[in-house]
Amino acid sequence: MSSFTAPKGTYDLIPPDSAAFTAVRDALAAPLRGAGYGYVETPGFEHVELFSRGVGESTDIVTKEMYTLTTKGGTRLALRPEGTASVLRAALQANLHRVGNLPVKLWYSGTYYRYERPQAGRYRHFSQVGAEAIGAEDPALDAELIILAAEAHRSLGLTGVTLLLNSLGDAECRPAYRAALQAFLRGLDLDEDTRARIEINPLRVLDDKRESVRRQLTGAPMMRDHLCESCKAYHEGVRDLLREAGVPFTDDDRLVRGLDYYTRTTFEFVHGGLGSQSAVGGGGRYDGLSEMIGGPRLPSVGWALGVDRTVLALRAEGVALDLPSATDVFAVPLGEDARRALFTLVTELRRAGVRADFAYGGRGLKAAMKAANRSGARYAVVAGDRDLGEGVVQVKDLASGEQAPVALTGAVGELRQRLG
């Protein structure tokens, strides 16, 4: 055992658990690939200012949770705590909004970092699949992304996910709501940090999870009562499209989420089997973010779905994913000539698209067959000097125990046919 362990709040993703994470990541991304979203990958760290401007200087993410560092040259960098700001920065830097049709549709997958208090479902590094549609203001685009996320959950067999939906208004109607909310919040019994937040971004107080705060929010003014006609019509457009697509949702007037850049459509996917960390993903519209980070006006919408949380949701529902075996064929050589012959066969099988492995290390027959069974392979291919002299290998069905000779020259075709 190593004298080192993974840092607190992190974890190693290793087989067999890693197979479920990979399958979930692929399932979350699959609907995006079929809807015109192209893959983007950004650095694991960015300039601190990208997140302080975009995510919001008053958010817990920026004030308490970002991992920051200073380079030898004095540049301040941060490990990325979320994906949207980085993806938008990359799109602007590459001028994708100028060279392609709008919206620019991108998806991504990666690991993100926040200095959280570790607990079940909340880690200091976590994996997400995200999607961003940049440069268009259309209720159909908001609905499309929500539907694609719902389809991803459905494809995994999840039934306990609930979609929460809200509108946060825009630059026209939010100022009046902000003033009304501030007036209400100033009259509450709140700690100093929360009172400071009232002056910077009062909507964030609605996202406070502490019961001592939440019980005082009864009677707080709601954004729905302050939406301008344009925002009302936009929100109804999103809701109508979701209904027509058969995607159920629950209106949640207090849904704010933890990032400052959201406008209009805001949504979250939650699962009742995850305890206090119930969110499995979420997102919304962020029409002003491009301007916040120095770009042109580019109304946009996006989401991020947690791979870690989705795996926990599957476990909570008892959903077992249909994961392919890592190995279909396991080769067991008996003797040096057989080692060379079967190693060549394994290479040919892999080139033919068959998952194949080999008994390395000169194991005896008994140990090698145990390894074949542990690998999950459907067939073992065994050969010794006598078999090679006859130009055959022995193919054994590891489930039934049946074994029969197969011509070495036709073994690849025979095994592919048996595997379907």
| Domains of the chain in sequence order | 17-173+227-317 (3.30.930.10), 329-419 (3.40.50.800)
Q: What angle do CA 348, 353, 356 make, to 5 degrees?
A: 65
Beta strand segments in 202-277, E:
250-251, 263-271
| 128 has binding-site annotation | yes
- The string of DSSP letters for 68-87 reads EEE-TTS-EEEE-S-SHHHH
Sheet holding 161-167, edge to edge: 38-39, 104-113, 125-134, 300-306, 279-285, 263-271, 161-167, 250-251
Give the residue among 290, 326, 122 at the shortest CA–CA distance from 209. 122
Task: Express each pLDDT in 108-163 by its tens digit.
Answer: 999 999 998 887 778 899 999 999 999 999 999 999 999 999 999 999 999 999 99
| 132 has binding-site annotation | yes
| 41 has binding-site annotation | no
| 262 has binding-site annotation | yes
pLDDT of residue 193: 84
| 244 has binding-site annotation | no
pLDDT of residue 259: 63
Q: How far apart are CA 146 and CA 150, in angstroms?
A: 6
Classify residue 320 by its DSSP letter. P
pLDDT of residue 16: 86
CB atoms within 10 A of CB 348: 13
Sheet holding 329-333, edge to edge: 356-358, 329-333, 379-383, 392-397, 403-407
Contact 40, 92 (CB under 8 A): no
| 82 has binding-site annotation | yes
Conformational region of residue 345, where left means phi above 0, alpha means psi within -120 to 50, and beta covers everything else: alpha
| 257 has binding-site annotation | yes
Which residues in the chain show pLDDT less than 70?
A: 1, 57-60, 257-260
Contact 48, 66 (CB under 8 A): yes
Q: How far apart are CA 58 and CA 283, in angstroms?
A: 19
What residue has token string 């009742």? Answer: 272
